Structure 1
Amino acid sequence: MMNIRASRPGEGDRIVEIWRGAVDATHDFLTPEDRLAIDDLVCGFLPDAPLWLAVDARDYPLGFMLIDGGHMEALFIDPACRGKGIGAALVHHGLALHPAMTTDVNEQNPQAIGFYEKLGFVRTGRSALDGQGRPYPLIHLKYAGK
């Protein structure tokens, strides 16, 4: 059984742990220097960000999503839980709140692009740099329905 709920104070360590595991499992294109720099940024804001958490029956976080103004800024799932529908459940929760939700995905992460396209997102553009100006191109996506 899985539930989706808002994050609570004190869950930051687990959230960062999920982020680190997911990034290490899916973002092998990052240079070691950029991975460390991004980790510093994430540790500075993610623990206190307003997140949606997917939690198991014991209320243990398995994944999270960050939405800001209808744009999904982050979706990360514990690598041990990938492929079990947790990411899709979080996205569907986000779409219930923001039916025209958008997101950006690293171009070097084709699995993520395929995941979003399977859920009904379409490509709307591309940026050569990521949000911090690093050379990791982004694919812009918008939910178009299924």
Structure 2
Amino acid sequence: MIKELDISKIDDIMRIWAEENINAHDFIPKDYWEANYEYVKDALPNATVFVYEDCDEIKGFIGIVENSYIAGLFVSQKYQSNGIGGKLLDRCKQEYPFLKLDVYAKNLKAVNFYKKHGFKIEQEKENEDTKEIEYSMVWELQK
């Protein structure tokens, strides 16, 4: 079931955020994610966060800021490839006619996932913090 984040479960969200960033981005030092943990935790309440919860367990989540920017989409590793990420994206597509995100070019699994869901690469740039190449990708509701 997809619903908005209950802030009392923010620690569950942050556990998934930390684990999956470290798993998906082996080309970025683990301490980068650890250093940004508190910043993200403090920023989460200001975002629109949809969670996929089943049997009282959060299996994934997506965060939207500025009414269009996907700040993150994460599915717990043990539940990946079960359609949860696609369902979370579809929920956002119902709410927002335009979505944008940045994804590391080396994270091919994520790049391909977003392409499969209708996102197109708009720009290639270097991330200021990590110096890694990332793609800005966009999706727009077709009229």
Q: Same fold (TM over 0.5)?
A: yes
Quote the Cα distance in structure 2 between the aligned partners of 1:21 and 1:45: 18
* Structure-2 residue corresponding to 1:136: 132
Quote the Cα distance in structure 1 between the aligned partners of 2:100 and 2:16: 22
**Mapped contact 1:9–1:48 kept (Cα < 8 A):** no
1:85-120 Cα offsets, whole Å, 9 max, x none, are 000000011111112211111112111000000111
Quote the Cα distance in structure 1 between the aligned partners of 2:118 and 2:6: 30
1:65 equivalenced with 2:70 (yes/no): no
**Aligned pairs, number:** 141
User: 4+ residue stretches of structure 1 with deviation over 2 A?
Assistant: 38-50
1:108 equivalenced with 2:115 (yes/no): no
Structure 2 unaligned regions, length at least 5: none
Q: Which has the higher strand share?
A: 2
Deviation of the 1:9 alpha carbon: 2.2
1:97 equivalenced with 2:95 (yes/no): yes
Amino acid at match of 2:60: G
Amino acid at match of 1:64: F
* Structure-2 residue corresponding to 1:121: 119
**Mapped contact 1:106–1:136 kept (Cα < 8 A):** yes
CA RMSD, 1 decimal: 1.9
Q: Greater shift after overlay, 73-82 or 20-29? A: 20-29
The 3 A distance-change label for structure 1 pair 30 and 77 is same
Deviation of the 1:35 alpha carbon: 2.8
Deviation of the 1:54 alpha carbon: 0.6
1:14 equivalenced with 2:12 (yes/no): yes
